Amino acid sequence: MGFTVYKSSAGSGKTFTLVKEYLCMVLKQPSTFRNILAITFTNKAANELKDRVLSYLKELASDGNFGASSVKKFMLPILIEETKLDEDAIKERAGKTLSLILHNYSDFAIGTIDSFVHRIIKSFAYDLKLPLSFDVELDDDEHLNRAIDILINKIGIDEDLTEILINFTKLKTSEETDWQIEKDLLKFSKTLISEDGIKGIDKIKDLSNADFKEIASKTSKFIRDFKNQIIPLAQSAIDLINAKQIPDSAFYYGSKGIPTYLKKLTKQNNEDYKPNTYVRKTVDEDIWYGSKVDAGDIGLIESIKDEIRNFYQQIASILERDLERFHLYRIIHQQIYAVAVLNEIGKILEEQKQVNNIIHISEFNKKVAEIVFNEPVPFIYERLGERYKSFLIDEFQDTSVLQWQNFIPLIDNSLAEGNFNMIVGDGKQAIYRFRGGEVEQFAKLPKLYRAENLPLADEREQMLIRNFEQKPLDRNFRSKREIIEFNNSFFEIISKQLVADYQPIYDQVKQKFDIANTGGYVHVDLLDCGKGEAWIDANLLRIKEIVDELIEDHFSFREMTVLCRSNVEITMVANFLLKHGYPIITNESLVLKGSAEVNFIIAFLQYLINPSERIYKAAILKFLVEANSVTETLDEGLNLLNQSGPEQTASELKMDVFLEYLKSYSFEINPAYLLSLPIYDLTEELIRIFHLNEEVNPFVQFFLDALMKCNSKEHADIFDFLDWWERNQTKESVIIPDDLDAIQLLSIHKSKGLEFPVVIYPFANTNVKTTIKHSWIDLEDEYLPKLQSFYLPLTKKEAENTAYADVLLTETNKSLLDLINILYVAFTRPTERLYILSEKIGADTGNTPSVPKLIRYYLQQSGGFEEGELSYSYGQRLVKDLEMKESINNSIKLRSFISEDWRRKLLISANAPEIWDIQNPEKNKDWGNLMHLILSKIKFKEDAEIILAQFVESGIVKAADSMEVLELINKLMNHEIAGRFFANGLNVKNEAEIILADGHVLRPDRLVFEENKLSIIDYKTGKSEQKHEQQISSYAKHLSTMGYHNIHKYLIYINEDVQVVEVI
């Protein structure tokens, strides 16, 4: 069928299958590789997929004896069966396909979904009213922090905004969150870069700060009026009871009865208005007193019960009419200033986008939707310059709704033409919902999910249904039999805890396996140790015991992996293992800010701009003392610096005192000179002055990479860089090789897609918590017509009593699925051993689902549970055979750290020539370079004006000269011979690279492919020379060896006039 959906499981050969389908298509017709788009979600995954395709093609085309090769052993028989080609034909076509890909590598369309939509946006930038030279912002925190800084700078200037921010701060203070408003704003504002957040904020973007204050006033009034209706009625009923001096205990159920309820309603701060079952029974069933009440009290109650019932019913009528709105307005009133702040940050982001010509990557899908929903598919392909006939989408369970909807028109067009399309995913490994992934749309395929606003949704859904074929990938090639059997049983049982809508995700959880692949082992510990520090200590000690057991059983450190839910847990495990002498690898241990040398450089940069700050001098001196670069101790050094003369205090040290001290150890520092340098050069100068380049230090080298990354994005000075470092110091780390013999510590999210011989999963006592803390809801409230959407907190306290309680229920159910999926990812990583460290719990521990409850439920349902038993094992713990394995280390160890002052190596001419001269182009070769650059961007005649506008906007071409340049380009486009090379619809490649056997690269200016004909065009300026003909003839010679025939060669001379010379 044309729309094949592979439902995979852990270790089931998902990537193998995707590569197989790709190879089946290209081996049938090698040139079609240009028409296949394979999409995945990370650059790492895309590169792995490319490498796998190329390596398989190379091996299939090889003459060598690869009898034991996995490609020849496993892939080749499948390709023979599915393509109906014999081995020789596959070999020939694999070689041809490989050659075509390598010679046309830019057409090898395997990449990320973001890179594809970026190409579409670039092609339609003019139509979308985007800057033609826009930049893409990838760093979420950087993007939002800039807007937050601008927002905070407005405090005290904009009165309404200042009031809103003060109220927002009061809200956060009452919630006992971080006192630093910037951090709170950053966390809170991330909704603005989510798909739902973008849609939600778009509906209120036109509201002013005054509008938000008006909404706050309206909700406050409604809340006040609501309470003012209830309180007098309840008080009147209480007055009746008090007047008769009837004790609360005389009423039905005493302290839980109707008097207590009425008293609660009289409180101004009351928020709970629902009567309990005893109160409702009192009124509805006319049960007003208990069996042991004396006759006197019974008579008194009987005398007033009708009046109390009347007050109660009036209250009930108000509650029925207004209670849901009361609870909603109470939430709105509490959160309105937070939403107002979000709205203001959204406006600033929009302004920054215009000022800085940037688009955040989160906007890509929305922008692409504007194109694919409104433009015919052939027109999109015409703009792209490529036409894709088949789409292969990986990791579909992590695809957002809008991402998938953007592909639907393209896939619909492909299916209409009878082409093959493929999706592969695993709903059980959907653990990125907090990033927008929506597993439900994968589970519901071929039906479309949330497609109400999708153009032609019904017709396109029917197209998917007609072409749909589902194939399971249900064999586990990764793990030992015992691990697979445990996971089959565990997840089949605990998935029954899911609501009916989500149970189908685990319908095919049972995996097949090689029954002879035995030797796996699963061990579950139920730690009986209490909470808090005792729980942490018990987990850490048990990890150490397990590591020691593994060493006894001949496992190396590199075969062991500890998976945790949080970085806090990882840090605790890392510190504990390091303390006990075990080697570890973790991102936390490799963060640059943990390096003494990096902290020294940062301290010195801070000192240069804050020379009177003692803390930076102390940090510098501390490093020098510990590095044995000075002879004093830290205390002695600080005392020396404090002896600075009677006219200054110790806290007012002059810069020269400190510099003289450094100079005494041959550290020559000239602050004025250093501060005149660009930040990168300044840092390298410090590295040389303090001899930090005498040994290879990966932390320092990666720090320079981080500095360069910041500088290339922001053209940073020392202040900008230090500000950037403050926000990003926890993110930058050393990248290490994979072959170190150390225990690896990872988060479960980062382990997805990986496998390890041994997995230890500690701290397995997590409760279900809502993954998504807030949800944007559509509002249609007659009293608040301006507020068309709102950011609703998804907590039981806030949402349960509103009309949006179903949103909370749905989120709670999805969050349980998230937890089970997290367990699935963790439990399916190991190949040989799995250790689970959970918590002993009793039978009655509340209703909130948790990992210990799921484990207990599994043990009970599987028949293995024994009360009081604290450990359960599956399989046998076997000692590994000692194998002599050659250690393969592909890493290159740097032996020197090269750092030179380029100013001493390079002489720069003080008299720069003019960049180009329109009047005298033959005198200036840079004119030729400019024309080459412009023409390299033009595919068709209609592109000329747009491309030239981009060059003007970027400053490469002066606006005053643009008309003369355009006139010359138009002469070329309208030339009798040259003009036909720019006609619409031609298959054109500009600046295509031809890689020769010796590694040299040729790059013709333009290749035009027509049926049975290839035209080579090379642009020249100045006079005709013999070497021009020799050059283009060389292009033709090498293209003919690649299988192209009927080649025509044209030299186009672009001076005051256009001259075309056909080379025979």
- Distance set, CA 149 to CA 142, 146, 335, 959 (Å): 11, 5, 22, 35
Tokens of 575: 């510190």
Going by pLDDT thresholds of 50, 70 and 90, the confidence category of residue 925 is low
Q: What is the pLDDT of residue 892?
A: 58
Tell me the CATH number for domain 521-590+740-776+793-875.
3.40.50.300
Q: For residue 757, which of 822, 829, 824, 823 has the smallest C-alpha distance?
A: 829
- What are the residues whose beta carbons fall under 8 Å from the beta carbon of 76, sequence distance 6 or more? 60, 87, 90
Q: What is the pLDDT of residue 499?
A: 93
Q: What is the pLDDT of residue 914?
A: 38
Q: What is the pLDDT of residue 919?
A: 45
pLDDT digits (tens, 9 = 90+) for 354-394: 777 677 666 767 777 766 666 676 666 666 656 789 999 99
The third-level CATH classification (topology) of the domain covering 592-728 is: PCRA; domain 4 (1.10.486)
Q: What is the pLDDT of residue 923?
A: 43
**Average pLDDT of the segment spanning 629-639:** 82
Q: Which range has highest mean pLDDT (349-363, 507-521, 959-973)?
A: 507-521
Q: What is the pLDDT of residue 555?
A: 95
- Distance set, CA 20 to CA 17, 71, 77, 395 (Å): 5, 10, 11, 16
Q: What is the pLDDT of residue 837?
A: 97
**Which of 652-666, 870-884, 1006-1020 has the lowest average pLDDT?**
652-666
Q: What is the pLDDT of residue 305?
A: 92
Amino acid of residue 1059? Q
Which of the pair, 389 or 995, is modelled with greater confidence?
A: 389
Q: What is the pLDDT of residue 911?
A: 40
- DSSP assignment letter at 733: B
Q: How far apart are CA 701 and CA 717, in angstroms?
A: 19
DSSP string for 439-466? HHHHHTTTS-SS-TTSTTHHHHHHHHHH
Q: What is the pLDDT of residue 886?
A: 46
Amino acid of residue 730? T
pLDDT digits (tens, 9 = 90+) for 693-724: 888 788 888 889 888 888 776 667 888 888 88
- Residue 370 CB neighbour total at 10 angstroms: 14
Tokens of 601: 């450089």
- Distance set, CA 754 to CA 45, 759, 821, 1040 (Å): 11, 11, 15, 45
| Range 921-1063: architecture per CATH | Alpha-Beta Complex (3.90)
Q: What is the pLDDT of residue 743?
A: 92
| Peptide linkage before 446 cis (omega within 30 of 0) | yes
**Average pLDDT of the segment spanning 592-608:** 89
pLDDT digits (tens, 9 = 90+) for 755-804: 999 999 999 999 988 888 888 888 888 899 999 999 888 887 777 778 88
pLDDT digits (tens, 9 = 90+) for 441-477: 999 999 998 887 778 888 889 999 999 999 999 999 9
**Which of 131-135, 185-189, 203-207, 338-342 has the lowest average pLDDT?**
131-135
Q: What is the pLDDT of residue 650?
A: 41
**Average pLDDT of the segment spanning 42-49:** 87
**Which of 48-52, 584-588, 837-841 has the lowest average pLDDT?**
584-588
pTM of the prediction? 0.75
Residue 933 phi/psi, 5-degree rounding, is -65, -45
**Average pLDDT of the segment spanning 676-702:** 87
The answer to whether residue 570 scores a pLDDT higher than 70 is: yes
**Average pLDDT of the segment spanning 425-436:** 88
Question: For 729-843, where are the E strands, in sequence order?
Answer: 743-747, 756-764, 774-778, 789-793, 830-839
Going by pLDDT thresholds of 50, 70 and 90, the confidence category of residue 966 is confident
Q: What is the pLDDT of residue 110?
A: 92
| Range 3-45+113-127+364-472: architecture per CATH | 3-Layer(aba) Sandwich (3.40)
Which SS3 state, helix, strand or coil, does residue 857 take?
helix
Q: How far apart are CA 30 and CA 821, in angstroms?
A: 40
Which of the pair, 650 or 203, is modelled with greater confidence?
A: 203
Q: For residue 256, which of 277, 239, 270, 233 has the smallest C-alpha distance?
A: 277
Are the C-beta atoms of 398 and 430 separated by less than 8 Å? yes
Q: What is the pLDDT of residue 167?
A: 80
pLDDT digits (tens, 9 = 90+) for 52-95: 999 999 999 987 654 557 788 889 999 999 999 999 999 999 99
**Average pLDDT of the segment spanning 253-274:** 92
- What are the residues whose beta carbons fall under 8 Å from the beta carbon of 185, sequence distance 6 or more? 148, 151, 341, 345
Helix 401-416 with 364-372: angle, nearest 10 deg: 30
- Residue 570 CB neighbour total at 10 angstroms: 22
Q: What is the pLDDT of residue 832?
A: 96
The answer to whether residue 909 scores a pLDDT higher than 80 is: no
**% pLDDT > 70, the chain:** 88
Q: What is the pLDDT of residue 361?
A: 66
- DSSP assignment letter at 249: G
**Average pLDDT of the segment spanning 528-547:** 93
Average pLDDT, the chain: 85
Are the C-beta atoms of 479 and 11 separated by less than 8 Å? yes
Q: What is the pLDDT of residue 921?
A: 43
- Distance set, CA 970 to CA 414, 582, 793, 935, 979 (Å): 37, 71, 60, 12, 9
Q: What is the pLDDT of residue 131?
A: 65
